[in-house]
Amino acid sequence: MKADPAKMFPVSVKKLKAEDGAPFPLFLFLKKNNKFIPIRLPGDPLGLEKYQQILEKNHLELWVPNNFQEVFASYAEYLTTTGQDPVEEIEKAVQKVEEKNSEQKLSPTNEALEETIVKSEEAELVRDAIEDEELTPEEKAQVLSSVSQDVLRALNQITTRGEAARKEGLQRCKEITDEILMIAAQDSNIYEEIIALRNSQEEIEHSVLVGTVAVMFGLALGYTDDKLLADLTVASIFHDIGLVRVKPGVLSRPEQKWSTEDRTEYEKHVDASVAILKESDTEFHPRVFRMIAEHHENYDGSGFPKSLKGTAIDESSALLHLANLFDRLCTGKQTGTDLSPKDAFDYIYDLVQDADAVQEVNPELVQRIFQFMLTEKDAADQMKEQAAERVKSASKNV
Ligand SMILES: [Fe+2]
Ligand SMILES: [Fe+2]
């Protein structure tokens, strides 16, 4: 729900008792998105654990709809007359957050975060699901998978309605996935760099597209760990950065015309990408290096640089590989002809069915992503509706 402060009043977290089933709904205000998120229905206790989570996220206030003002007043009076003070741990937690807030001024990174306004409904739902502390990991996975499915389906349907419709559809998909990419990247320590890259010119488009597609595939598989999604994004964005150390003459020639020496020179970019990130001042999770190091390893062992095979290749590396392949097919780098997203999906699908073809990615993983897109939509849609319904009923009094 978009923020309308006139309809809500703030309540200090300290004035609530974690164990009490307060007779009013409680909302969190997400400043960066200018939005209220319902966190508790009337009568539900907040719970000590949740209470502490809220404080850890530096929310010292929760919000209550104006039409619950009287109810809140009598609740406050009840707490005063019964003399029930917040438990000691909560007092300490509140104090810690207050001290931290007074020391900390908003850094540019925080300001950049504040400016991130989600535009598409799909991205909004992804963000809400990731941030919703009420949803179980399974529910989150269902909601996220369903959203990714919608986008992937939209991608898939951009086919026969003519060039203008195709362009418009691709643009729309790009906007949605771009926003989802930003949500995934928010948990990264190089968020600002990603914003800068995203706004820069065409040469970075491949990285951004690979990132968005990899995150979409991850969501389709039900990945809900925001840190893993952030690392998948970071690895996707920087997977080819090592190309800057490859002789320019090689890259200016089409791949189909490369000599053996050219190919060897090109293959150096994998190690170079890892080296460049290691040389930087930024700290990356080890799995970022692994994803990049393995982004050209093929499931059947025919890839490079280490000719790894089968399960020796991490699943997240395979997702990055698959996203990379998808973009290479769409941009003609793989076959010499630009494929539409639908044709790229068909191409990959045919590839995994063909026993004689090079198996770049575990066929079972491809099947899981594709099968989800084709057959499990009903269950996911149902879960999405239930989640939306719950949010709606929690906010109908506002
Ligand atoms: Fe690469
Ligand atoms: Fe690439």
For residue 388, pLDDT beyond 80 = no
For residue 116, pLDDT beyond 60 = no
Question: Which ligand places an atom closest to the C-alpha of 292?
Answer: 1
pLDDT of residue 32: 52
Per-residue pLDDT tens for 308-348? 999 999 999 999 999 999 888 887 888 888 887 778 888 88
Per-residue pLDDT tens for 195-215? 555 554 445 567 777 887 888
In angstroms, what is the span from residue 266 Cα to ligand 1's centroid? 9
| Cα dist from 49 to 36, 53, 57, whole Å | 21, 6, 13
In angstroms, what is the span from residue 397 Cα to ligand 2's centroid? 49
In angstroms, what is the span from residue 118 Cα to ligand 2's centroid? 27
Question: Which ligand places an atom closest to the C-alpha of 211?
Answer: 2
For residues 184 and 373, is the Cβ–Cβ distance under 8 A?
no
Other Cβ atoms within 10 Å of 108 Cβ, number: 8
Confidence band, pLDDT 50/70/90 cuts, at residue 305: very high
pLDDT of residue 117: 47
Question: Which ligand places an atom closest to the C-alpha of 243?
Answer: 1
Find the mean pLDDT for residues 154-180. Answer: 59
In angstroms, what is the span from residue 211 Cα to ligand 2's centroid? 10
In angstroms, what is the span from residue 267 Cα to ligand 1's centroid? 8
Per-residue pLDDT tens for 248-293? 888 888 888 899 999 999 999 999 989 988 887 677 899 999 999 9
pLDDT of residue 220: 77
For residues 295 and 304, is the Cβ–Cβ distance under 8 A?
no
In angstroms, what is the span from residue 207 Cα to ligand 2's centroid? 7
In angstroms, what is the span from residue 156 Cα to ligand 2's centroid? 21
Question: Which ligand places an atom closest to the C-alpha of 214?
Answer: 2
Question: Which ligand places an atom closest to the C-alpha of 295?
Answer: 1
* Least confident span in 8-22, 181-195, 262-276, 304-318: 181-195
Q: Is the dihedral of CA 302, 305, 311, 314 positive or negative?
A: negative
In angstroms, what is the span from residue 273 Cα to ligand 1's centroid? 9
In angstroms, what is the span from residue 324 Cα to ligand 2's centroid? 5
Question: Which ligand places an atom closest to the C-alpha of 210?
Answer: 2
Domains belonging to the chain, first-starting first, are 5-104 (no CATH), 121-379 (1.10.3210.10)
Per-residue pLDDT tens for 80-111? 776 555 445 555 655 665 665 565 443 333 34
β-pair partners for 12: 61
In angstroms, what is the span from residue 78 Cα to ligand 1's centroid? 64
Other Cβ atoms within 10 Å of 322 Cβ, number: 22
pLDDT of residue 38: 60
pLDDT of residue 150: 64
In angstroms, what is the span from residue 239 Cα to ligand 2's centroid? 6
pLDDT of residue 325: 92
Start-end of H helices in the chain: 48-56, 69-82, 88-103, 108-114, 121-131, 137-157, 162-185, 191-198, 205-220, 226-238, 248-252, 260-279, 286-293, 315-330, 341-353, 363-375, 377-395
In angstroms, what is the span from residue 34 Cα to ligand 2's centroid? 36
Question: Which ligand places an atom closest to the C-alpha of 208?
Answer: 2
In angstroms, what is the span from residue 350 Cα to ligand 2's centroid? 22
Question: Which ligand places an atom closest to the C-alpha of 329?
Answer: 2
| Percent of the chain clearing pLDDT 90 (strictly above) | 15
For residue 112, pLDDT beyond 60 = no
DSSP state of 2: B
In angstroms, what is the span from residue 206 Cα to ligand 2's centroid? 7
For residue 230, pLDDT beyond 90 = no
- pLDDT higher at 170 or 232: 232
Per-residue pLDDT tens for 26-77? 777 766 555 666 666 666 666 676 677 666 666 677 888 887 787 788 777 7
Q: What is the mean pLDDT of the chain?
A: 73
Q: Which residues 6+ apart lie within 8 Å of 398 measured at CB?
A: 1, 7, 8, 25, 27, 36, 65
What is the pTM for the complete model shown? 0.56
For residue 296, pLDDT beyond 50 = yes
In a 13 Å sphere around the CA of 153, the CA atoms on its Cβ side amount to 14
